[in-house]
A and B are shown apart, each in its own frame.
Chain A
Amino acid sequence: MLMSGRFGAYGGAYVPEILMPALEQLEAAFLAAMEDAAFQAELAELLANYAGRPTPLTRCRNLGSERVRLYLKREDLLHGGAHKTNQVLGQALLARKMGKTRLIAETGAGQHGVATALAGALFGLKTRIYMGAHDVERQQLNVFRMELMGAEVVPVESGSRTLKDAINEALRDWAASFADTHYLLGTVAGPHPFPLMVREFQRVIGKEARAQVLEEEGRLPDAVIACVGGGSNAMGAFADFVGDEGVRLIGVEAAGRGLDGAEHGATLLRGRPGILHGSETYVLQDADGQIAESWSVSAGLDYPAVGPEHAYLKDSGRAEYVGATDREALDAFALLARREGIICAFESAHALAHALKMAEAATEETVLVANLSGRGDKDMGQAQRLLGPSA
């Protein structure tokens, strides 16, 4: 490796030896692409004309107030329906550059699977998506989307049958297939160089939001708020604000059915450092180190580890991490639909729930930016069941 792949004490590349050359190849290709004007131009063109960047920064008309202004970064409007498309396009270009002919990916809510499937279709790459069998059941619409774009969706029956098990299975596939296959990992977790690379491809979220809020307000926001499962939309939203000392960076984890029980996905709030999926980071685990099964109403936040840079930002104090329960997220989801006419993903509703709490508590003039990481179409079936037809 050319770089340490560390964020303070976190990160690294904990994979079977056989995968190390594939990670080294990827790191070299990524670092070269960062300096390659032609690569950057092609990615910028795709982001603009295929994916629909820049996405708007919408000031809520009805939530918040004159004094407390709540802005939403509208990644829900991105092609594919979530921020995932940003980095998938980057990695798919890298895969092509490395001469790989096949993509594999894991998916939780199905958003990353959909994004990978669209890239597979666009670049003519054979695509296989691993998805926990439990998630396949709760995200049928996204399964069909992936299949419509030509991807093969493989339900994973092992373990908790959710995102972590899908990652295990993708890593097993890659250990055999790396010669012709790129593992298009969907978040800022996993072994180096994924956490760094995915952050850089998602940096565009915060870069745009920073310029947009400066344009609107003439100043930086008081806080940037994003949900954290693996943590890619949050790292993308935070990255360009890390140097802005006055801007609070707030990651919202899934508190599920409550932080006092075991049914949550609050890795940074309730986990402790360990090693999972190639990275040293916070992990939900028992005293022996067996990985715990996480819980969240949103499949995308249902993950017992977290990107190592978030672990670093937590320990350094630069970012704060809080939780929002299933109930709080569902209430925020319904409120946004009713008051602003925007149906967001359950994942993004966690960020919104905390932003609304902050807005309510604010006593001074306050500017908040919440990252609306995805749209809610995929959650309609569940929302109907949970909120009822008259919600």
Chain B
Amino acid sequence: MSRYAAMFARLADRGEAAFGGFAMLGDPDLEAGDALLDALVAGGADMIEVGIPFSDPVADGPAIQAAAVRALAAGATPAGCFGLLAAFRARHPDIPVGILTYANLVVARGRQAFYDSAAAAGVDSVLVADVPCAEAAPFLAAAASASVDPVLIAAPNTPGPTLAAIAAAGRGYTYCVARAGVTGADAEVRFDAALIARLRALDAPPPVLGFGISRPEHVRQAIEAGAAGVISGSAIVSLAAERGPEAVRGFVAAMKAATRL
């Protein structure tokens, strides 16, 4: 059983949803980044999502852009990031880890080489933010060959046939964008329960909501809308930049507590 499947099964037994914590690899620098990842685990995150920083992150808002800028300035490279991931995997053998990144970093390394590197570093999934389902075929093939789960994005406006293709081709979980726009921490969020219901009806990989999740009440709302979990990103990277890993651990603990209804 994959780490994602094992995690969702375990949480289902307990009546909990998954909390995913996001960090940008190499932010604020290569050593302190390790402490941040460990703080996510210590706070109780069920799954870890990491960014490999890209110079032109069009799907990201200011907080994650700033994290990418810091990481690149600190010398983060894809090769260095795979090294950080392998070390993380050695410290934490069981927690699912997914990469979120952009297409040019994948094709620059060579699609297959990128997914093979991810697999070798103990990574469970790869999501490429600027590869929609219609362009996904060669990425899916490389992922399959490397036995890495390709995570696809579903949006509230995704039409039926595309959603069916996402449900059929995605693995691990389905990343549901909770709203239009780019990543960012919102004061209030509105969840599209219809999207989650449509994905459930299509037997898609478990729907996990991202974009805007920054407060425990968002977590509860997402779960009430039917989500199998949530991912919080911008709130974490901002908190990490302002107050460091210990504050992140506390934030994650509060968010995780909200997954236990």
Q: Do A and B bind each other?
A: yes
A113 CB → nearest B CB, Å: 19
Is A387's CB within 8 Å of the partner chain B? no
Once the chains are docked, how many angstroms separate the CA of A170 from the CA of B221?
31
Is B130's CB within 8 Å of the partner chain A? yes
Contacts A17-B132, A17-B133, A164-B56: A275 and B103 contacting too (C-beta < 8 A)? yes
Contact between B58 and A172, CB atoms less than 8 A apart: yes
Is the contact region of chain A dominated by helix, strand, or loop, or is it mixed?
A: mixed
The residues in A between 1 and 31 inclusive whose CB is less than 8 angstroms from any CB of B are: 1, 12-21
A-B contact count (CB 8 A): 114
B156 — nearest CB in chain A belongs to which residue? A18
Which residue of B54, B56, B130, B157 is within 8 Å of A21 (Cβ)?
Answer: B157
B173 CB → nearest A CB, Å: 15
Is A278's CB within 8 Å of the partner chain B? yes
**Contact segment of A198-206, A262-270, A287-295:** A287-295
Contact between A290 and B134, CB atoms less than 8 A apart: no
Contact between A20 and B158, CB atoms less than 8 A apart: yes
**Contact segment of B8-16, B176-184, B198-206, B247-255:** B176-184
Once the chains are docked, how many angstroms separate the CA of A35 from the CA of B31?
60
B133 — nearest CB in chain A belongs to which residue? A17
The residues in B between 38 and 97 inclusive whose CB is less than 8 angstroms from any CB of A are: 54-61, 65, 69, 72, 77-79
Is A150's CB within 8 Å of the partner chain B? no
Contact between A175 and B182, CB atoms less than 8 A apart: yes
Which residue of B59, B105, B157 is within 8 Å of A288 (Cβ)?
Answer: B105
Once the chains are docked, how many angstroms separate the CA of A1 from the CA of B161?
12
Residue among A177, A178, A273, A288 with most chain B CB within 10 A: A288
Contact between A17 and B105, CB atoms less than 8 A apart: no
Once the chains are docked, how many angstroms separate the CA of A285 from the CA of B104?
9
B258 CB → nearest A CB, Å: 26
B56 CB → nearest A CB, Å: 5
Contact between B131 and A14, CB atoms less than 8 A apart: yes
Contacts A164-B56, A288-B78, A289-B105: A14 and B132 contacting too (C-beta < 8 A)? yes
* List of B residues within 8 angstroms of A165 by Cβ: 56
Once the chains are docked, how many angstroms separate the CA of A125 from the CA of B14?
54
Contact between A178 and B180, CB atoms less than 8 A apart: yes
Once the chains are docked, how many angstroms separate the CA of A274 from the CA of B65?
21
* List of A residues within 8 angstroms of B79 by Cβ: 288
Is A168's CB within 8 Å of the partner chain B? yes
Contact between B78 and A14, CB atoms less than 8 A apart: no
A130 CB → nearest B CB, Å: 12
Contact between A12 and B135, CB atoms less than 8 A apart: yes
Contact between B130 and A16, CB atoms less than 8 A apart: yes
Is A34's CB within 8 Å of the partner chain B? no
Contact between B181 and A176, CB atoms less than 8 A apart: yes
Contact between B77 and A288, CB atoms less than 8 A apart: yes
Contact between B134 and A274, CB atoms less than 8 A apart: no
A313 CB → nearest B CB, Å: 21
Once the chains are docked, how many angstroms separate the CA of A178 from the CA of B58?
15
Q: C-beta contact mask, B148-168 vs A, less than 8 Å → 1, else 0?
A: 000011111111001000100
The residues in A between 120 and 155 inclusive whose CB is less than 8 angstroms from any CB of B are: none
Once the chains are docked, how many angstroms separate the CA of A168 from the CA of B159?
25
Is B108's CB within 8 Å of the partner chain A? yes
Q: C-beta contact mask, B87-125 vs A, less than 8 Å → 1, else 0?
A: 000000000000000111111110000000000000000
Contact between B135 and A13, CB atoms less than 8 A apart: yes
Contacts A17-B162, A18-B155, A288-B108 aside, 20 further interface pairs with beta carbons under 8 A come to: A1-B134, A14-B131, A14-B132, A15-B58, A16-B177, A17-B155, A172-B60, A175-B181, A175-B182, A176-B182, A178-B180, A179-B180, A273-B107, A274-B104, A275-B107, A276-B56, A276-B104, A283-B104, A288-B105, A291-B104
Please list the 3 inter-chain residue pairs (A to B) with the smallest Cβ-Cβ separation, ordered nearest first: A289-B108, A176-B181, A18-B155
**Can you list 9 residue pairs at the A/B interface with Cβ under 8 Å?**
A1-B134, A15-B58, A17-B152, A17-B162, A17-B177, A172-B182, A175-B59, A176-B180, A289-B109
